[in-house]
C-alpha cells in the first residue's frame, strides 16, 4: 500500500489532486495528515477537526468509469466500506445518512467527499476524501458531532482503522469493476438512516413529511409523499431534518 503521511496540509483531497497533476501516482495511493488546516466538506462546507486525534485522508481510485445514471455507485461503496471497516472494530449502531454521512446513533462521526476529474489523456481519477472522528472527545458547539472514542470510551489506533476501511474499499471497488454492485447496494440500504420511517424534510424552506424508500444509483433520494406518490430528490434539493 502506498501511503503518504503528512503532519499538516491544507486538504488531503487537494494535495492528492496536485500530485496526480505533477507525476504518476499508483492506484489506491493514500494521503493522510495529522492536521488538515483547510478541510473541505460537501456542498462547500468546511471540515474542521482537532489535529492529531482524527483520520483525515484521501484515496486515489483510477479509471473507474461510471455512467452518469450510476455515478453514486462509488459513493455507496465508500460509505459501505467505512461502515464495514468500523464494524470490524466492533463499533455498533452505525448508519449512513443520505447521501453519505456516517452516523453512530444519531450523531455524525464521519463524512465523505468524492471528486472526479478527467485528465487530458482520458484517464479518470476519483479522489475519495474521508474524514472520521476517532479519538476527539470535545466537539464544543457541535451537538450533533461525535467520535469513535465518545461512542465506546476506547482509544483507537488511527492507522489500523484506516487500513480496515481501505481494505474494504479495495474489495468493494473490485465489485463495481465486475459490475457486481448488488451486495454494496443491499448493505447501503440496510444501513440507511431512517429508511421506511415517516420523517420531516425541508425543501427550499418548505417543510413536509415523507418516508425514505431508498437511494437510486444516480444518488437521488426516493421519498414517499403524503399522497403516496414517490418523488426523487437530488442532494441540493432536500434536507432530512432530524
Ligand atoms: C462532509 O461530510 O461534508 C464531507 C467531509 C469530508 C472531509 C474529508 S477529510 C479528508 C478529505 N480532505 C478534505 O478536504 N475533505 C475530505
Interval 4-29: pLDDT, tens: 999 999 999 999 999 999 999 999 99
ipTM for the predicted complex comes to 0.99
Report d(CA 205, CA 210) in Å as an integer: 15
Percent of the chain with pLDDT over 90: 88
Q: What is the pLDDT of residue 123?
A: 84
Is the C-beta atom of 40 inside 6 A of ligand 1? yes
Please give the radius of gyration of the chain, using alpha carbons only, rounded to the nearest integer.
18
Distances (CA, A) of 214 to 53, 200, 211: 34, 16, 9
Is the C-beta atom of 75 inside 6 A of ligand 1? no
Is the C-beta atom of 172 inside 6 A of ligand 1? no
Report d(CA 179, CA 170) in Å as an integer: 14
Q: Is the pLDDT of residue 30 over 90?
A: yes
Most confident of 17-26, 40-49, 128-137: 128-137
Ligand 1 centre and the CA of 227: distance in Å?
A: 37
Residue of 32, 78, 113, 166 to test ligand 1 pocket, by largest number of atoms within 8 Å of CB = 113
- What is the average pLDDT score of the chain? 95
Report the top-level CATH class of 197-240: mainly beta
181-233 pLDDT per residue, tens: 999 999 999 999 999 999 999 999 999 999 999 999 999 999 999 999 999 99
Domain extent listing, the chain: 3-191, 197-240
Q: Which strand (E) or helix (H) includes residue 129?
A: strand 124-132
- Considering the entire predicted model, what is its pTM? 0.96
Note the helical H segments in 3-157. 12-22, 72-87, 148-152
Q: What is the pLDDT of residue 179?
A: 85
Q: What is the pLDDT of residue 121?
A: 80
Residue of 6, 36, 128, 193 to test ligand 1 pocket, by largest number of atoms within 8 Å of CB = 36
Measuring CA to CA, which residue among 179, 130, 172, 98 is closest to residue 12? 130
pLDDT interval class at 39 (50, 70, 90) = very high
Q: What is the pLDDT of residue 153?
A: 97
Q: Is 221 helix (H, G, I), strand (E, B) or coil?
A: strand
Cell of 34: 495529522
CATH architecture assigned to 3-191: 2-Layer Sandwich (3.30)
Q: What is the pLDDT of residue 122?
A: 81
Q: What is the pLDDT of residue 181?
A: 93
Measuring CA to CA, which residue among 179, 180, 164, 170 is closest to residue 27? 170
Amino acid at each position: 500500500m502506498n501511503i503518504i503521511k503528512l503532519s499538516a496540509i491544507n486538504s488531503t483531497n487537494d494535495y492528492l489532486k496536485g500530485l496526480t497533476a505533477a507525476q504518476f501516482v499508483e492506484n489506491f495511493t493514500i494521503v493522510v495528515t495529522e492536521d488538515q488546516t483547510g478541510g473541505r466538506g460537501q456542498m462547500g462546507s468546511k471540515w474542521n477537526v482537532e489535529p492529531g486525534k482524527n483520520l483525515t485522508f484521501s484515496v486515489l481510485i483510477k479509471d473507474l468509469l461510471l455512467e452518469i445514471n450510476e455515478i453514486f455507485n462509488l459513493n455507496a461503496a465508500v460509505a459501505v466500506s467505512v461502515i464495514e471497516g468500523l464494524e470490524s472494530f466492533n463499533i455498533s449502531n452505525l448508519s449512513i445518512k443520505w447521501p453519505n454521512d456516517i452516523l453512530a446513533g444519531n450523531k455524525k462521526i464521519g463524512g465523505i467527499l468524492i471528486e472526479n476529474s478527467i485528465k487530458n489523456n482520458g484517464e479518470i481519477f476519483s479522489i475519495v476524501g474521508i474524514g472520521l472522528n476517532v479519538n476527539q472527545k470535545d466537539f464544543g458547539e457541535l451537538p450533533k458531532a461525535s467520535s469513535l472514542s465518545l461512542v465506546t470510551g476506547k482509544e483507537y489506533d488511527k492507522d489500523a482503522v484506516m487500513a480496515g476501511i481501505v481494505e474494504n474499499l479495495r474489495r468493494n471497488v473490485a465489485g463495481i469493476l465486475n459490475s457486481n454492485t448488488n451486495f454494496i447496494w443491499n448493505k447501503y440500504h440496510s444501513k440507511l438512516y431512517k429508511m421506511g420511517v415517516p420523517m420531516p424534510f425541508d425543501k427550499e424552506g418548505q417543510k413536509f413529511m415523507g418516508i425514505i424508500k431508498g437511494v437510486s444509483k444516480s444518488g437521488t433520494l426516493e421519498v414517499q409523499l403524503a399522497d403516496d406518490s414517490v418523488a426523487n430528490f437530488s442532494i441540493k434539493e432536500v434536507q432530512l431534518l432530524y
